[in-house]
Each structure stands twice: as C-alpha cells, then as structure tokens.
Structure 1
Amino acid sequence: MLVGTLFRAGNWLDGVLRTQVTVDGTDATCSLIEMVNGSRHLEQLGVLMLDGITFGGFNVVNIQKIFQKTGVPVIVIMRKYPDMPRIKRALKNFPDWEERWNNILKAGDIYKVDNINQEPVYMQFCGISEEDAREIVKISTTRSAIPEPIRVAHIIAAGITTGESKGNA
C-alpha cells in the first residue's frame, strides 16, 4: 500500500490518498497515475513528491509518464545518494531489468538539497525547474530532514499496516 498526503507547503494537511502496488512489480507508475487522476484534489495539486523512485522493492516509477498523464510535476526525494552500480546489479535479477533501469536513468540527474540544521536530501524532478523544485523541498521540510508530506505519509502508512506508527507525535 502507498499512502499520499496533500499539503499546503509543509504546514497544512488537506487530504490523504492511497493506492496499491505489487511487490517487485511494474504497476507503480499506473497506480500513481490512477490515484492522482482519480482524486477530487487533482486541480489543487502543485507537485507530486515521491519517497524514492522505487516502491514495493523494485517497482520502479516512470516520473516522465506520471507528469505526462497527470500534468502534475514530480519531485523524487532520496535521503541518501543512491548506489547506482548496486541498484543496477540488483535489477539484473528481473527479466525486464533494462526497462526498469531506463526509468531510473530517465528520471534525470540527482541534485543535493541542503536544508538548514538538517541533513541534506537528494532529488530528481520532472515538469518543474530545478530552482522551483529546490524551493518546494525547502519550504515543505519543516520538522525533519525530509519534506513534511512524505514524513506524514510514512506515519499514516505505518499506523495502517502495523497498527501503530513509530514516529513521534
């Protein structure tokens, strides 16, 4: 299960969305597109923030396709700079590894975003300028090193799947 939160900047929770993806599958892109396009909040979405480019193991997202099909810019957030050779080796266990790898490469360059008094995060983006993506990440990073929409989505997902979140209230 993937949980999405709708925020105004990093301060105001407006909604919660959810969808399902297959572990190590290939449906994350379509599931996210359907979730976004089926939401009553679609018209107010300014950007879609993803916690990494893979979900459910190695269900790799195509951020260009998400932007193309939803019209919503995409920012991928990573807590650490990814070990690309290691990821590529792991993907080679899948018969369609080249397509999955190409989705990662097509997501573009990885940029470091320094946050005041926090560890840096890394980002990729589509449908938005680097300057605007940086500003959105910084504005929405209010309580931890990661943007608030992602932090809150984690707390909600943990509470739903395990019965209790691990985060602090």
Structure 2
Amino acid sequence: MTRRPHVLGIDDAPFERGKDAEVPIVGVMMEGATLVEGVAITRFPIDGEGATEFLAGWIQSLRWRPSLQAVVLGGITMAGLAVVDLEALSERLALPVLAVTRHDTADSELADALRAAGLKDRLAILERTPPAEPMGRGLYVAWAGADAFEARQLVQATLNKSRLPEPLRIAHLIGAALVRGQSRGRV
C-alpha cells in the first residue's frame, strides 16, 4: 500500500424517517488525507434492501474505480437500517472495506432495531460482521479484505483534521449540505 492510498469514503446524508423515501449517498475519493480527487452522489431507499449489491454496482460504475485501493464506510448501515455486508462488498470489489464509527459497536442496539422493524433477515449480515476494534480515542473500525496491519495503515493514511478518515468526513459534510443547505455539527 502506498503512503497516500486512493480511498473512497461513503456516507449517507441526513433524512427524516416517515417524510423522505430516499436518502442521498455521497462518495468522496481522496488520495491520502489531503487531496480530493472525485465526488459522486447517488440515492438509496430508506431501510432499503440489497445495500451491499447496490454499493458494489455503484462503486464499480465510477470512472475512478480502477485507482481505488480501499473503501471506508460510516458504519455498516446506510439510509437507516440498510445493512452492508463488509465481506461480500470486499469480495465483489476485490478491495479492503472498512466500517468506521466513533463508538464501540459491541453493545450496539442494531439487532434490536432490525427485529423491531421486521427486518430479521438482515441479522445474518450483522452476525457475519467482524467486530470493530479501537484504533484511537473515539475511533472504532471493522474491516474485510485486509489484515489488522493494513487496516490500521489505511486509517492512519487518511486521518487529518478529525478522528475520522478524511474521505468519510468530507462525504458527511457534503451530504449534510445537500440536505440542509450547509453542513453543521460535529464531524
């Protein structure tokens, strides 16, 4: 892996459950932690099915896909309760896929939320998800398609302004601006 890997950060935009049917999904491709090389936007149904297949197809269609060296997601869910299978996405893309969060996911209430929403079929994906490991204060990472050393290198190579990898942080800012007109809050 290079010191400045080409990493695609993907995050969903804010949405209002019951009001919005779809949510914007933003991808930001960066070289390392300082150079934005591409931005892509798509939409996905709130709590939609097939998130893994959707992301795999969308990422494969991006013109800069050949230069990607990893994908970083803002957790294993997007658009509400759409669950991404890290292992399957990594295999489809032949790339490391990392899910980054600010909190330890060991005590996550996601399984309860899936059951309450009648989405028990997604629990199998949740059970296959590797446990998130701490990689710094307020930074937990689960990954597929890489070993622990490579995952740590990818995260470290994309950190700059905050505790989150820059491609993910910028995707978050763009998503918020798309929906609210400007970004705000902690990033």
- The answer to whether TM tops 0.5 is yes
For residue 104 of structure 1, what is the aligned residue in structure 2? 126
How big is each residue's C-alpha offset from its partner over 1:16-63, in whole Å with a ceiling of 9 and x where there is no partner?
122222111213212211111001111100000000000111110111
For residue 30 of structure 2, what is the aligned residue in structure 1? 7
Percent identity, aligned pairs only? 26
Cα distance, 1:86 vs structure 2? 2.2
Mapped pair 1:21 → 2:39: no
Mapped pair 1:156 → 2:179: no
Cα distance, 1:13 vs structure 2? 0.4
Distance of 1:85 and 1:41 partners within structure 2: 34
Per the alignment, in what secondary structure is the counterpart of residue 132 of structure 1?
A: helix
How big is each residue's C-alpha offset from its partner over 1:125-150, in whole Å with a ceiling of 9 and x where there is no partner?
01111111011112211000111001
For residue 160 of structure 2, what is the aligned residue in structure 1? 142
Check conservation: 1:18, 1:35, Cα contact below 8 A: no
Mapped pair 1:93 → 2:116: yes
Q: 1:56 aligns with which of 66, 69, 79?
A: 79
Check conservation: 2:105, 2:131, Cα contact below 8 A: no
Mapped pair 1:65 → 2:88: yes
Per the alignment, in what secondary structure is the counterpart of residue 21 of structure 1?
A: strand
Matched residues, number = 163
Q: Which amino acid aligns with 1:100?
A: R
Q: Which amino acid aligns with 1:46?
A: Q
Distance of 2:31 and 2:125 partners within structure 1: 29
How big is each residue's C-alpha offset from its partner over 1:87-135, in whole Å with a ceiling of 9 and x where there is no partner?
22111124441x3122122121221001xxxx33001101111111011
Segments of structure 2 that go 5 or more residues without pairing to the other structure are 1-23
Segments of structure 1 that go 5 or more residues without pairing to the other structure are none
Check conservation: 2:176, 2:182, Cα contact below 8 A: yes
Task: Detail structure 1 runs of 4+ shifted over 3 Å in the superposition.
Answer: none
Per the alignment, in what secondary structure is the counterpart of residue 131 of structure 1?
A: helix
Check conservation: 1:155, 1:167, Cα contact below 8 A: no
Q: Which amino acid aligns with 1:77?
A: V
Q: Which amino acid aligns with 1:165?
A: S
Q: Which amino acid aligns with 2:92?
A: K
Distance of 2:56 and 2:181 partners within structure 1: 28
Check conservation: 2:31, 2:37, Cα contact below 8 A: yes
Cα distance, 1:73 vs structure 2? 1.3
Distance of 2:164 and 2:158 partners within structure 1: 8
Distance of 2:58 and 2:110 partners within structure 1: 27
Check conservation: 2:52, 2:83, Cα contact below 8 A: yes
Distance of 2:102 and 2:114 partners within structure 1: 20
Q: Describe how 1:118-137 pairs up with structure 2 within 5 A.
A: 119-137=137-155
